[in-house]
Amino acid sequence: MLGANGIHKMFGGDDVPASRRPASTALPMGASQPFVKIRSRAPLRLGLAGGGTDVSPYSEEFGGAILNATINRYAFAFIEPSPDWKIRFVASDLGVEECFPLDVDALATAQLQLHAAVYRRMITEFGAGRPLAITIRTSVDAPAGSGLGSSSALVVALVEAFRTVLDVPLGPYEVAHLAFEIERVDLALAGGKQDHYAAAFGGVNFIEFMADDRVIVNPLRIPRAALNELETSLVTCFSGISRRSEEIIDEQRKGMSEKMVRTIEGLHQLKSDALKMKQALLRADIPEMARVLNQSWLAKKETASGVSTTKIETLHEAAIKAGALAGKISGAGGGGFIMFLVPPEQRLKVISALNDAGGRAEGVQLTADGAESWISPTKSL
């Protein structure tokens, strides 16, 4: 691995002498330095139980608990030297491209807030404040507002890519906490913590959230047969609605702060369900998991008024009629993906029924690895 100073020079740090800076049509590096592309990816997740209990102030006062599992959908981040001594952000899935002068302060007007916030924080905290002339390209295997933790996974992927660029010794806990701070504190975007830790660690995890930003990730050692049974019993369906979760989360937080009985009791039930779901999963007891999932869906709808919609209820009903055992929204609610537990023998029937009802349904594969980054062996494409 190249040292931080060497990487910084390679990507156009301001300690490169002006005489060595090539013309605007050339790459911002010395002629003798190699062309390097850094790539990273972080998995998206399904929230199996406990979602919402990771949101402040509930987690600080009562402690939160969540069971989630990462799936074969990813957020990707690619970093390479910029061809013209500028900072470039490209969100390929959104069709957005932005260009800025080599100045961190110039990023204040960025439309791609996540890209700008990660760049600013990483350069300021780990790059001595010296901007890098780089192009950052990203894409996510899910639409915005999916409920799969896509925005947080993207922040984790960006942090992980910068970790390699700057050669920073950060473990998964540090990557997750830094990503959480960038999204929730620096940008003040509403939400909890589970997505960052799921993306950083990967796999099936029981995660506990406590006061003072304390988080404990418990990777579950689940027998392969049990994982196979769960994977074969899972169906996901995109509702066709890309939701913005801020209003739902704000309503939940208001209910927490004002100690509204409906909200607090609903969250207590969700936390209890996370432990029950974990125990059922360790036994590979899919019927019991389905019972808990149904219970959690009812409790989740008690935490805020916009959790469910007519479209979500229509899809839920269609799946149950086709043989699904249980289902609930993934994420805060209001749209995005719905997850169902189904008897494996009824899997295709449920998928067909959901597609006929206007959803986009498919099976899902569980994954074991969290965020990872690497130096591309390809010099140029």
> Is 93 an active-site residue?
no
User: Considering Cα of 255, then 256, then 258, then 260, what sign does the dihedral take?
Assistant: positive
β-bridge pairing 234-238 and 204-209: unpaired
List CB contacts of 304: < 8 A, sequence separation 6 or more: 248, 249, 251, 252, 255, 263, 332, 333
**Nearest partner of 334 among 300, 362, 359, 292, judged by Cα:** 300
Note the helical H segments in the chain.
Answer: 4-10, 58-61, 113-126, 150-165, 172-180, 194-201, 224-233, 246-257, 261-282, 286-301, 310-321, 347-356
Under 8 Å between Cβ of 33 and 9: yes
Residue type, 38: I
Look up residue 278 and give its two tokens. 């974990």
What is the spatial distance between Cα 150 and Cα 66, in angstroms, rounded to a whole number? 17
Catalytic residue chosen out of the listed positions 15, 103, 167, 195: 195
Question: Which sequence positions are flagged as catalytic?
Answer: 195
